Amino acid sequence: MNAMPRLPSFEFDDTILEQGAEISRRLDQLRLEKFPPNAKKNLRSFTMAEVAHYLGVSQNNLKRLHLEGKGPIPEQAASGRRTYTAEQMLELRHFLDRHGRTEVKKYVPHRKPGDKLQVIAVVNFKGGSGKTTTAAHLAQHLALTGHRVLAIDLDPQASLSALHGFQPELDRNLSLYDAIRYDAERKPISDVILPTNFPGLDIVPANLELQEYEYDTPLALQDKSSNAGKQFFTRLAKALADVDERYDVVVIDCPPQLGYLTLTALSAATSVLITVHPQMLDLMSMSQFLLMLGGILKTIKGAGAEITLDWFRYLITRYEPTDIPQAQMVGFMQSMLAGQILESPMLKSTAVSDASLTKQTLYEVERSAFTRSTYDRAIEALYAVNSEITSLIHRAWGRA
Ligand SMILES: Nc1ncnc2c1ncn2[C@@H]1O[C@H](COP(=O)(O)OP(=O)(O)O)[C@@H](O)[C@H]1O
Ligand SMILES: [Mg+2]
């Protein structure tokens, strides 16, 4: 019998170094072709029905305004269909507040003097629990409903940035690291904020350098000559104080780990959203996350951190109500966490995952690109989730 030839020998480290470099080079090439550097993302325009929906006015009211020649002039397609740009939607809000019959300015929902900047941290250390999808759609919903929003991408993998058209490998953007680093290179946060394709929504993009914060902080903690490390958890809140006046809401997409970045975000937060996919393994992982996080928070509280939240909620993500085990998990969660789970779960939808393939959100894709019922079901679920969160934000400001 012939002996099988032995497997060829190889050096693991050299091989993965070569393969890593090759994959990265080819991906860069692919990306350059598909998404040229600093390619500006556009935003589609919005139908009368959508505008009426987001503004909370009737379509008839909108039509009347238009016929009377008031407010911004919508674009009219050959089919007769009228659409407004997102900028025009904002203009309409200001117009309606200026010309409203009452003194109540309800169309521009900016916070009033004394209302605290809302900082929402989206967390869970499980990757794939829907943090980035939730953060992106929440930030964009808030912008479309007239709020001034800052999204912060705290995940070195930069998925939230990618969804907004920023590619750290090609665009060489700064990140939050530049605004919270410990050395003399630190810059004001306004230097790392960029506009997005959504009017009213700015972003602090991420890049791999964010990871440095995880290495710098333990070193800074040991530094006897300075208190900066021991107060690491104050760094984001302090950075944000510089731009407090510019925004109503900050949405932070946290990395899928319980490191210093996440703890710093949580210490700056006024509220927390924990995303969870309703499956046994995810729930087990979440319970570990809660136990670890609770423990660490106790420790940093001992070091002087103040964590006072206006609210915190669990959000069920990628939910398939017809999947019996998932429905049972939701029931199980409700029996323990009632009151703390957002009433509306985010449904699993191919509209969401397909949009993400082209680095888009549901607000960016055209409804006509999907089966109507698919798109409508997803956008309705999203609207229910985001409206619930918006009302928590408004309640924190003392609004009904
Ligand atoms: N509601 C949803 N329906 C379908 N796919 C979803 C939904 N939410 C998220 N996904 C997909 O699941 C994957 C993980 O979601 P993501 O938001 O990136 O999670 P995380 O940020 O927690 O790692 C992504 O590919 C995303 O497109
Ligand atoms: Mg993510």
* Ligand lying nearest the CA atom of residue 206: 2
Confidence of residue 346 (pLDDT cuts 50, 70, 90): very high
- Residue 133 Cα to ligand 1 middle (Å): 5
- Residue 275 Cα to ligand 1 middle (Å): 10
Encoded amino acid at 329, one letter: M
What is the arithmetic mean of pLDDT over 64-79? 89
- 10 half-sphere exposure, CB direction, 13 A CA radius: 9
- The mean-pLDDT minimum among 178-192, 294-308, 379-393 falls in 294-308
What is the arithmetic mean of pLDDT over 290-318? 91
Q: Do domains 16-108 and 118-396 have the same CATH topology?
A: no
Token pair belonging to 183? 């050395």
The pLDDT tens digits for 30-64 are 777 766 666 678 899 999 999 999 999 999 999 99
Beta strands 201-204 and 194-195, pairing class: antiparallel
Distance CA 87, CA 91 (A): 6
The pLDDT tens digits for 351-373 are 999 999 889 999 999 888 899 99
pTM of the model: 0.92
pLDDT at 306 > cutoff 70: yes
Report helix, strand or coil for 34. Answer: helix
What is the arithmetic mean of pLDDT over 58-73? 90
Distance CA 381, CA 393 (A): 19
The CATH number of 118-396 is which of 3.40.50.10680, 3.40.50.300, 3.40.605.10, 3.40.30.10? 3.40.50.300
Q: Which atom of ligand 1 is nearest to the CA of 357?
A: 27
Report helix, strand or coil for 224. Answer: coil
Residues framing ligand 1 (Cβ under 6 A): 127-133, 159, 256, 317-318, 346, 348-349, 352-353, 356
pLDDT score at 4: 83
Per domain, the residue ranges of the chain are 16-108, 118-396
- CATH number for the domain running over 16-108: 1.10.1660.10
pLDDT at 134 > cutoff 80: yes
Neighbours of 324 (CB within 10 A): 9
Distance CA 212, CA 159 (A): 18
pLDDT score at 88: 96
